[in-house]
Every structure is written in C-alpha cells, then in structure tokens.
Structure 1
C-alpha cells in the first residue's frame, strides 16, 4: 500500500462529522486516576480531537503521536501547550507500527488510524502491557471498506494502473474479533459498531470527504502523473454521484465504524 501524504486543511473540511465518532468513543472510556493521568493519542492528525482529551481530563499529561509532519505542524500550532487545568498537551513524531510506550499509561487511544496499520492487533499485547492497572486501550476504526465509496475507489484505481495504492481487504476486524483478542490479553472489553448517516453539503461532497482520508494513497501515487490523476478523479466523481445521489437536503453518506474500549484488570 502506498504511504499517503496528508493535507490537514482537506482533512478538516469535514471536521464536525469526523469528530463525532471520537466523542462517542470517549463517552465510553471509564474515569482515569486522579492527579495527572498519562494519555497517548496514536494517529492524532491535526490535533483537533486530541484537544477533546484535555477538555475531559484537564490535569492530564497528553501526547499526540503522528507520522505526518504536516499534521504535526498543524497540531502544534493550534493545540500544543499547557492546559487550563494544569495539564500539558504536546505532540511528537511516531509511527504506530513501531511505537512503544516509554512509561506506563492510563489511556492509549486511537481514532481512525489503525486501519492504516497492517496486523495492528499484534501490537495490542505491547500496548496493554504498558497500561497501568485499570488503564484503558480505546480505538475507533472505519468499517466501510465494502461501501460503494471504497469499492469504486479500488476498482477505478486498478483500472488506472494504481494497483498497489490501496489495502482494504483485511484492514479492520469485526467488533467480535477485537473483543476476542483483547479478552485473551486479560482485558474487560466493550466492542460495538455504529453506522452514521452523514448529511454532506456542497458539490461532490463524498469525493471531497475521501480526498481527506481514504483517497490519499491514490492521490499520492498519482502525484507525478497529473493526467492520469485527473482522469481517475473524473471517473470516480461520476461514479460517486450515481452511488450517492444528492437530495434537496444534501447528500446522505452512510459510514460504518467499529469501536473498542478495553480495560486492563486491576
């Protein structure tokens, strides 16, 4: 799979819709210890949802990790620094595939990131071992890889010669599969799925949405071939208009997501 380059401004064009699953995940995370809990946000992106962690735990020491320099620059510029409750929010470069906690954490959380990490369940043992007793591993991943938006993306990418850009077949597991793996690591697990129906506005809003996330590997792979890129986008735009027709109120965009909250036993 092509390693994508990221555009924080494009990603944030649908920030409200994208933040809602994180808020729903956060609502199911149990309380953390009093004092100065330690929190890691893996795949923090531009930091807008990492800031929600500081709002809930204002005394916490929170670090957002990402492997995109552009995303980290945006996060540091807009969110880094002391928090009103006496905590601290900072950001650091790291790849989730190799990140190993350097100290015990009360919460490790990841929002719409692990679908980019092949074999990410193999990392759970390392992360849960680093949790404090009663600590939590929480994650949310998109589960819409069989949706028209992604099936069309894969088919058209292959038709335009971008055969290795996308990896979706086994990108995420079912809630039951996540539950099984984390229970085996000694955690108490809450796993579920939700399908949101986002009502998007504007011209070709589904294309605009995927340009910020799932389409990034294709756009990266075709960055040096603008003619092929534009031909692909023309075909993809037309296919998305048919798959997601606009209504008088906007364009409905169903989006399934998978959630897991795993609490390490005391």
Structure 2
C-alpha cells in the first residue's frame, strides 16, 4: 500500500533527521475506515517544566466495517507535517497505537509520547501542536488525517508575591512585589516573563474570593512592583491570565494584618 510507505517515510524522518519530515501528503482515504474521538492529554493543555520530560497520552477510536487493522499517531509542531520543525513518535513497538476491541468493527486506540525540554522541545515550539493519524481496515481500506486534532504545549509558569510591611497601620501604603517566570526549555531553568499584564488581587480575611485592585506589567526581568492602601486584614496575590505559550498561574496569597 502507498500509505505504508508514507508512514515509514514520516516515522523514519522524525526519528533520524531532527524531526523534519519529507512530503507526507494531505488527508487521504480509501474505503470506509474512520478515525474519531481524538483526545490529547485528557483534553487539557500539555504543560512542561524546565527539565523533566512530559508523558502525553493520545486516545482515539477507529472503525471499519471489515474490522480494524492497525493505527498510528504522530505529534508535530508546524503548519503542516511537511513543514514541521519538531515532533514526537509514540513509545513502544514501531510507534503503532495499542488498540483494544470494542466490537467487530470498532477499536479504541492509545499512544503515549514523550515531550522533553532540549530534545524535541525548544522555546519556539511552545503553542499549537497537531496530531497526524492513520488507521487501516482488515480489507486494506485506510484513512490518513494530517490534522486529526489540535492541542497546546506550554512552558510551565511560576508566580510569587510579597506584601510589606506586615503588620501595617490602616491607611498606610503597602508595597507588593513579585515575579512571573516560565520554563526555558533551552537552558533548563526558569526565566522572567517580560512585559506581561498581571492582576494585583485582594481577599478580605473573612471572604472566599479575590477582587482585582489593578493591573501591573512585568519589567525586563519579569519582576512586579506596585503599591496599594491598607484598609482591612486580608490576603494579597498576583494573578496571571496566561498566553497561548504559557499557562495561567496565581501566587499563594500573602496575609497582611492591618492595625
């Protein structure tokens, strides 16, 4: 089958040439084989820290009236798999998915992938990724989907806060500092996330939710600093809404006793 050659070419290129792939064709299909219900990482964004690899599970359903043959998925970053700059092959024997039988025409398939800083992850590969998938029927029908599912891979974030002085007299000025940082997949460390809007929030001692006091931007090192007026006992925190490359994060509240 021509499709077997395509899979071999894509898989070999991903494994052996820095994850750049040759022409792999757009969507193709022959017969009634169908792929559906593709889910990546349980439907959540994939968040990866500065050093540790992240294991990512992809599940999908394959149907064919003659019975399901085999299936395979590949993860990649780029507009198309032809132009991808990085990606991942599934763990295990020859990269094929592990499929369990639902009935004579249907199987549920699972593949697990490793995304690792400094290997198949660099800073510029944060953001949108896609799943390339293929499945065959026992009658040699097949379907190939170049973008069976889109998902997001993000650089893990951290956020701190420190409100001073503690305690403070009512009506006096409180200075609130902090820092927003995110994983740098190329250095293996966390670095400041610059020029990002971050909310300063306050929760009264007796309250259960925070209210926003103002929005502050991080400086050239990711640092935050602003002031507010002490009114009542409560907790101050910074809260970042996140971006396409970096997840939302909120600092643990810092309690200030107002005398």
TM-score by length of 2: 0.24
The answer to which structure has the higher strand fraction is 2
